[in-house]
Homo-oligomer: A and B are copies of this chain.
């Protein structure tokens, strides 16, 4: 993972992927959003090898995406919880979910949807919008330098 190539470091996409672009990190974050906090919970939920999980959790903590706190149930174990910084990642996860549901649907899988907790109604699909609210496609935007 020699991702520190010259042309990459300056792109925020690449920098994000540096933190969460590996095989397991985003799935750990996803489970954390689902309320999982303990080593064993991630372990059984993901089916990842223990040493890999250890490595990933450390990396996520090092990147400030997770932090360890004393266990909430009073036991001596620690728990991994999402930091404020990690909250922004839920948009990435939702975008992935949305894309996966639209384009990678499997046959016999239970359909799940995200609902607003207050109204119990499905959320709006994620969309890119101009300042005046028009929905934009990939070809409608351009990347420019801001001085």
A17: interface (CB < 8 Å): yes
Please state if B143 and A100 are interface contacts (CB–CB under 8 Å): no
Task: Return 7 A-B CB contacts under 8 Å, by A number.
Answer: A11-B30, A17-B96, A18-B104, A88-B103, A90-B137, A116-B141, A123-B128
Across the interface, name the chain B residue whose C-beta is closest to A110.
Answer: B145
Chain B residues near A138 (CB-CB < 8 A):
33, 87, 90
- Report how far A22 CA is from B11 CA in the complex, Å: 17
> B-facing mask of A1-36, CB < 8 A → 1, else 0?
111011111111111111101110011001001100
A26 with B33, Cβ < 8 A, contacts A88-B103, A141-B123 known = no
Please pick, from B3, B19, B118, the residue contacting A104 in the complex, using a CB distance under 8 A. B19
Give A contacts to B, CB under 8 Å. 1-3, 5-19, 21-23, 26-27, 30, 33-34, 45-48, 64, 85, 87-106, 109-119, 121-124, 126-134, 136-146
- A13-B96, A17-B26, A128-B126 known; A143 vs B88 contact (CB < 8 Å): no
Inside 8 A of A6's CB, which chain B residues have their CB?
47
Q: Name the one of B22, B88, B91, B132 contacting A23, with C-beta atoms under 8 angstroms.
A: B22
